[in-house]
Copies of this chain bind each other. A is one copy, B any other.
Amino acid sequence: MAYQFASVARTTSSEAAGSQPIDPFLTRLLSNGTLTREQVRIVTAMQSPPRSVPARTQLARAGGSATSTYVIREGWAFAYSLLAGGERQVVGFLLPGDIIPFECSGHGSAELGVETVTDMIVSEVTSAAVRAAAQQWPEVFVLFLRHQSEMMLGLIGHLTDLGRRDARARIAQLLLKLERRLAPVGLTEFDGYDCPISQYLIADALGLTAIHVNRVLRGLREQGIVTVRSNRVTIHDRARLMAIAGEDDGDDVG
């Protein structure tokens, strides 16, 4: 197995034995705390039985039908677009609870795709199941719309990083944003999180070279700010990391 996803052990150990395991999709859709037993039942029923997908697998390619989509229960993936010259731009990382974007044909000069990073466990959600759920509880449409809006905000943030921040700030942003997305599904600890993405992937996500990513990470490590090594991100000095990311947390900086 290419990469043993360490969160499995942690997730089970953080629950009482025998209790129902966390459903990251549920957590994601219903991020406000109040949810009825009925809503839990409906959202759970939308998903077909979990299926596992090996690491480094193409999940979505242009030309497929869009009659169903997948929800990530466990594991990491990424969406990318591919230029004619072979350059790859990682558009976003897909984490537990995320919906894998529908297959969409390319938009002219770039080809889109989704590829798994680690072994993954996904549930299929057919459009038929969504329609059925919407009949019982019309607001599921709103939930999906909100999810899509979140993705658009994520894209806008990513875009802004590429356009207007330097390499250090981009990397700091990425590390903080990943932590913020992993937290609600219980995949973080107080000082960091498991992170299976290589420096090549980071480079392709941030419009940089793996070589330059490496140098910047070395700098951040030597300054005691953050260590990114062997599938693990350890944050030593969160305040300085946020400052580098351009997120001044309310304190005066002058």
Contacts of A206 in B (CB 8 A): 163
**Are the CB atoms of A160 and B104 closer together than 8 Å?**
no
- Partner-binding segment picked from A3-11, A21-29, A150-158: A150-158
Q: Is the CB of B155 within 8 A of A104?
A: no
How many monomers of this protein are in the complex? Answer: 2
Residue pair B107, A156 in contact (C-beta under 8 Å): yes
The listed residue (B104, B162, B248) touching A159 by CB distance below 8 A is B162
In the bound assembly, the distance between CA atoms of A173 and B84 in angstroms comes to 14
Identify which of B108, B153, B162, B205 contacts A107 (C-beta below 8 A): B153
Q: Report the minimum CB–CB distance from A242 to chain B (whole Å).
A: 9
Q: Are A152 and B153 neighbours in the complex by a CB distance under 8 Å? A: no
> Does A109 lie within 8 Å of B246, measured CB to CB?
yes
Within 8 A of B (CB), among A57-92: 81, 83-85, 87-89, 91
Docked complex Cα distance between A158 and B207 (Å): 12
Cα separation A102 to B158 with both chains bound (whole Å) = 19
A84 CB contact (under 8 Å) in B89, B109, B154, B246: B246
A156 touching B109 by the CB < 8 A rule? no
By the criterion CB–CB under 8 Å, are A207 and B162 in contact? yes
CB within 8 Å of B: which A217-246 residues: 245-246
- List of B residues within 8 angstroms of A88 by Cβ: 164
Which residues of chain B are near A104, meaning CB under 8 Å?
Answer: 149, 153
Nearest chain B residue, comparing its CB with the CB of A101: B152
Partner of A157, one of B85, B102, B110, B157: B110
Given contacts A155-B156, A156-B91, contact A109 B247 (CB under 8 A): yes
